[in-house]
Amino acid sequence: MKHLLRLAFFVICATDIFAQPPSVQWYQTYVVGVRLCEFFTVKQTPDGGYICGGQERSTIRPSNSWIMKWNSNGGAVWSRVYGGNGSQACNSICPTADGGFLCAGVHDLDQEDFLLLKLNANGDSLWSRTYGGAGDDACAVIQPTADGGFVLAGRTASFGSGQADFWLLKVNSNGDSLWSRTYGGPSPETCYTLDQTTDGGFILAGVTRSFGDSNNDFWLVKTDDDGDSLWSRSFRLPGYTYCRSVFQTPDGGYAMGGYTSEYDALPYGDFLLVKADANGDSLWSRIYGSNQYTEKCTAMQMTRESGFILVGLCYNREYDSFPNCMLVKTDANGDSLWGRRFGLGAQGILYAHCQSIQQTQDHGFIICGKTTHNVGDTEGLLFKTYPDNASLIGLDPDTLAFGDVWIGRAVEDSFRIINLSSETMAIQSITSNYPVFPSVEGTFSIPPAGRHNVLYTVTLPDTFNYRGTLTIQGSEDQATLPVSAHGIWTELRPNPSAIHLGQVSVSDTVDTTLTLFSAGNTFLTVDSIRLTAHHFTVTLPPADTIPAYGSTLIAVRYIAATTESVSDTLIIENSAGTPLTIPLSIGNSSVDDATGMIPNEFFLDQNYPNPFNPSTSIAFDLPRRAFVSMEVFDLLGRHTASLLSQTINPGHHSVQWSCTDCSSGLYLVRMHVEGRAYTRKMLFIR
């Protein structure tokens, strides 16, 4: 393994590394049953509170899953245990869209099975499911998927090819199994963690003994959205390594957190962070620890700054009988920013064994696990840190990225200022370092933990990439909000700006084209085209999007059916905003009369050619100016087409009919003029 770096630090209850780590804001312990309780997982809920999952154990009866809801200040809202037939444990929990929760873990009757438990918002059990086979199967993690379902991951001894394999199970929102996949070799593999990737697939991580050397190695498996394996990678590092968390990083790669030990057991161990690229190839790895201490990382999370926070246990190998909680924060490159050992001995707590961590909305951290006041008893532990290096001013969102903005058009939006302090905060000004972004005048106050909504308008004067900041100046602190936008502009321009066809003979077809240009720095869409009088026909190419500085052609056709002057207007609706209008016109049409004589009677001639496919010409005579309608029907009398409905001057005339969508057979063309009807049969053959 290349790029292995050991970052040594010595932590004795709040020793600085590079920055001041946050201290404990509050902590809570809780116990149910017979005082053998612990939490394995914690998540912040949409209401700002927390949900914990774990286990309530007993030496004289089966253990139970234990779920507990807390408010944002660490006050207990409700606590529930679930079990009965066999032992249970909740290893992972996630809020659901209906305000309830899904808890995943292990159900052990005669052998272990995956357990899935659905709760409502009050913790009442709605249903439960188990999944497994003849061997032991243990679920480590659950995660919602983009399609509204869920995936569960862990290890299986019932299925697969080895002693134990990774097992990935997809279920719908009702817990019904949709598919499952196993991954592994002849020796044991255990999956501890997964993350859904941006391509809809999944990344699973844990340990392997089938691949790599004979010791435990980090193992990474990438799948598509159906769970089919795309690739897998093992990471050979010194000693025995245990991967407990994996996340896809903003650059498309993956970060894995866990620990490494010289032996396959404590008391030796160090925190371990490994970074891989999008193909799973190792970029770097970092070890955090010292020879004096044992550090075992149990969970890792990405922070909002794209760095990492690792949590676990830490104790002095010579002096400590019990471990305490250890936090290490790094930047995106794995370089340590700070580390802290949280000793709660002043509260009479012998040790703190931490299992799960999440960054909270106020940039602090919520951590759960177990602790004890008396040897032999354990209690569930939940504690919260103050915001990490936090400004007293919180911003939601923490960046304003507008993307493309049409120049000259106002964009309205808002952001919230959050008072993270315990005192009333006065906001003295909100200013911008770039003139296109607004300044918000006036002062206002925000109560402790309160929020203030700020409305603003952005108007861009030109087509540039704008980068700026809004500075929020408070009475005790200052915060900045990055703002970015790209000015775009376009205009639809025609060539020519008007079409005049001059004089056209009756029955002639005249074709021309109209060029449409996108004159700006962004694409333009043609939303619709229409004619006001429908004398002409227009055809737009299949692609109705014109690239920046690009063009497209519109086909324009006129079929002369009268000797009178004709005008029309083409209206083009487009994304630039203002509809484009183009005048269309022809001059007087001449009479198509080979003899130069005016006919002496009304007459409908036989179409030619006949039979025809697909077009035919229909000639007719008018001895005087008259209103003419001409229609086509099939033999069942159903209307097929309207060819004429207008006043026409005397002479010999003809119209064209194209029957591209017709069925083979006989058709009737019927001309109505001065109260009389004239009919001819036409035969269309495909």
CATH code of the domain containing 181: 2.130.10.10
Residues of the chain above pLDDT 90, percent: 38
Task: Identify whether 597 is part of a domain.
Answer: no
* Pick from 295-299, 443-447, 674-678: least confident: 443-447
- Where residue 627 falls (left for φ over 0; alpha for ψ -120 to 50; beta otherwise) is beta
Q: What's the confidence (pLDDT) of residue 404?
A: 79
**Residues 338 and 404 placed together within one structural domain of the fold:** no
pLDDT grade, residue 324 (50/70/90)?
A: confident
Give the pair of three-digit tokens for residue 665.
């057979």
* Nearest one of 542, 528, 411, 427 to 476, comparing CA atoms: 427
Instruction: Return phi, psi of residue 345, to 5°.
Output: -65, -25
Per-chain mean pLDDT for the chain: 84
**Residues 49 and 148 placed together within one structural domain of the fold:** yes
Q: Around 656, how many Cα atoms within 13 Å sit in the side-chain half-sphere?
A: 13
Domain end: 346, 369, 385, which one?
A: 385
The CA distance from 587 to 590, in Å, is 9
Q: Which amino acid is at 551?
A: S
**Residues 325 and 212 placed together within one structural domain of the fold:** yes
**Residues 462 and 508 placed together within one structural domain of the fold:** no
Q: What's the confidence (pLDDT) of residue 3?
A: 39
**Residues 497 and 624 placed together within one structural domain of the fold:** no
Q: Where are the beta strands (DSSP E) in 187-236?
A: 189-196, 202-208, 217-223, 229-235
Q: What's the confidence (pLDDT) of residue 576?
A: 80
For β-strands 676-684 and 665-673, DSSP reports them as: antiparallel
**Residues 173 and 267 placed together within one structural domain of the fold:** yes
What's 477's domain CATH number?
2.60.40.10
Q: How confident is the model over 222-238, as a mean pLDDT? A: 93
pLDDT grade, residue 591 (50/70/90)?
A: very low
> Any residues with CB less than 8 A from the CB of 642 and at least 6 apart, and which?
629, 630, 631, 632
The CA distance from 308 to 301, in Å, is 6
**Residues 650 and 670 placed together within one structural domain of the fold:** yes
Say if residues 531 and 539 touch (Cβ distance below 8 Å).
no
CA atoms 170, 171, 172, 176: torsion sign? positive
Say if residues 312 and 271 touch (Cβ distance below 8 Å).
yes
Helix, strand, or coil (residue 410):
coil
The CA distance from 3 to 281, in Å, is 12
- Domains in the chain, number: 4
Give the pair of three-digit tokens for residue 201.
């697939």
User: Distance of CA 453 to CAs 121, 328, 418, 473, 521, Å?
Assistant: 29, 34, 9, 15, 34
> Any residues with CB less than 8 A from the CB of 539 and at least 6 apart, and which?
554, 555, 557
The CA distance from 390 to 481, in Å, is 14
Task: Identify whether 595 is part of a domain.
Answer: no
The CA distance from 336 to 140, in Å, is 28
Q: What's the confidence (pLDDT) of residue 2?
A: 37
Q: What's the confidence (pLDDT) of residue 438?
A: 57
Q: How confident is the model over 191-218, as a mean pLDDT? A: 90
Burial 151-188 (b: 16+ CB within 10 A, else e): bbbbbbbbbbebbbbbbbbbbeeebeeeebbbbbbeeb
**Residues 149 and 298 placed together within one structural domain of the fold:** yes
| CA angle in degrees (0–180, nearest 5) for 442-448-449 | 100
Q: How confident is the model over 636-653, as a mean pLDDT? A: 88
Domain end: 488, 523, 557, which one?
A: 488
**Residues 309 and 369 placed together within one structural domain of the fold:** yes
Helix, strand, or coil (residue 281):
coil
Q: How confident is the model over 303-331, as a mean pLDDT? A: 82
Domain end: 529, 553, 586, which one?
A: 586
Q: Per residue in 489-541, pLDDT tens?
A: 778 888 888 888 766 766 677 888 888 888 777 788 888 888 888 788 887 77
Instruction: Name residue 467's beta-bridge partners.
Output: 484
**Domain range enclosing 245:** 4-385
* Nearest one of 165, 227, 236, 167 to 196, comparing CA atoms: 227
Instruction: Name residue 315's beta-bridge partners.
Output: 294
The CA distance from 620 to 648, in Å, is 11
Task: Identify whether 535 is part of a domain.
Answer: yes
Burial grade of 332 (CB within 10 A; 0-12, 13-18, 19 or more): middle
* Nearest one of 382, 363, 487, 365 to 71, comparing CA atoms: 382
Task: Identify whether 149 is part of a domain.
Answer: yes
Task: Identify whether 154 is part of a domain.
Answer: yes
Instruction: Return phi, psi of residue 548, to 5°.
Output: -55, 130
Task: Identify whether 591 is part of a domain.
Answer: no
Distance between start and end Cα atoms, the chain: 72
**Residues 482 and 516 placed together within one structural domain of the fold:** no
* Pick from 234-238, 313-317, 628-632, 681-685: least confident: 313-317
Maximum alpha-carbon separation in the chain = 125
**Residues 173 and 257 placed together within one structural domain of the fold:** yes
**Residues 288 and 397 placed together within one structural domain of the fold:** no
Instruction: Return phi, psi of residue 497, to 5°.
Output: -80, -15
Task: Identify whether 349 is part of a domain.
Answer: yes
Task: Identify whether 69 is part of a domain.
Answer: yes
The CA distance from 66 to 62, in Å, is 13
